[in-house]
A and B are shown apart, each in its own frame.
Chain A
Amino acid sequence: MQIVGEEDLKAAVSARKRLGALYAALCPLYLAAVLVLFFLSPHAYTWYMVGNILLTLAFGGYSVYFFTVRFFDARCYEKYVERVVNAISAKEYGVFLRREGTVTKEGVPFEALIFTVRGDEREILSVKRDLPFTAGEKYVLEVSAGVLTKYEVTDGTV
């Protein structure tokens, strides 16, 4: 089963661009609103000023959230997919042992999976959670940059 591939990279790039476009569309709307309030304000301008402060608080707050969470996550995910897709992948046989919870690397949350590979325990990361691995079962794992990109169940005879 394919977990990460070229399609995911395209999707990640387009998701990041979509977010950027959304923010770019909001900027002129915000600017237009505050400039209209500013230049149309009368000498008794208190409420117009309060309006502009509230708009700026909302837009500024959203900008911080956008760049530190939404856009940051999208960018990290895109970089991760790009690295995984471009790295040399290795095929290995492993026996699934257990799940070790969430590991965050470079801004991307992974599920840590422990397999026995060539007699040693090895942590392999997966960006998709709750993959249907069964403990003690043998799998063909395709790993790229330490991340699981594809797996298949084997009948144990390989």
Chain B
Amino acid sequence: MERFKASLRTEWFKYLIVAVLSVVVWVFAFGMYHAPQAYEKISVFFAGNVKDYSFEKVAADAFEELRKVELSSADPNANTFAHKYELVAFNGSDVVILPESVAAGTLCNGSFVEQEPCGEMFTQTEKDANGCDVEVAYGVYLPEEAMAALGKYFTFGNERYVVLIPGSSLNAGTLTRHAFEFEKWLVGYVQA
């Protein structure tokens, strides 16, 4: 015991390194091993300000098959919005919530998934193979009640908001259809 105490005094730095490393390595390893897979999480991009990130837990708890819901946001009036919108909304998100003006200013063809009409749809006019104008539905408008309920977590502006699903999302039919289920849940969201 005496030798151990003496060793603690003289070799304390080595014991400290062992202690720090054992915590860091295992926290990292368990974090990596149990990190939610792409099909177990939904990333939501909101064009506006998020008031309360507890929405992530509320949303994750609403779906048995989801382990994580990630929120990211960007203010449409900020200079960096266009960059973040392109980078995060199109390439790293499963569900995108946009003000109508932003959605209307986006070329949805190729960026967002075409959706089956259900409820009040956000559409864009496109030419079909014959050169005729057709209305294609890319998103669903958030109903007033849902916006009122979601207002606890998000700061909505004075216009209507649209929920869209990026074509890059793995949960839009590639791995799962969780993005559509999430969209449906959002549109029907009523505060408990």
Contact = CB atoms under 8 A, between A and B. Distances in A.
- Of the candidates B26, B33, B34, the one having the most CB atoms from chain A within 10 angstroms of its own CB is B26
Interface string B1-17: 00110010011001100
A41 interface: yes
Nearest to B24: A53
Contact of B18 (A38, A41, A43, A57): A57
Given A57-B22, A61-B19, 10 more contacts: A38-B30, A38-B33, A41-B33, A49-B27, A49-B30, A56-B22, A57-B18, A57-B19, A64-B11, A64-B15
Contacts, number: 49
B26 to A, nearest CB: 5
Contacts of A133: none
23 contacts: A38-B33, A41-B33, A45-B30, A48-B30, A49-B26, A49-B30, A52-B30, A53-B22, A53-B23, A56-B25, A56-B26, A57-B19, A57-B22, A60-B18, A63-B18, A64-B7, A64-B14, A64-B18, A65-B7, A68-B11, A68-B14, A69-B3, A69-B4
Nearest to B25: A56
Interface of B: 3-4, 7, 10-11, 14-15, 18-19, 21-23, 25-27, 29-30, 33-34, 67
Judged by DSSP, the binding face of B is: helix
Given A49-B30, A68-B11, A43 B67 contact: yes
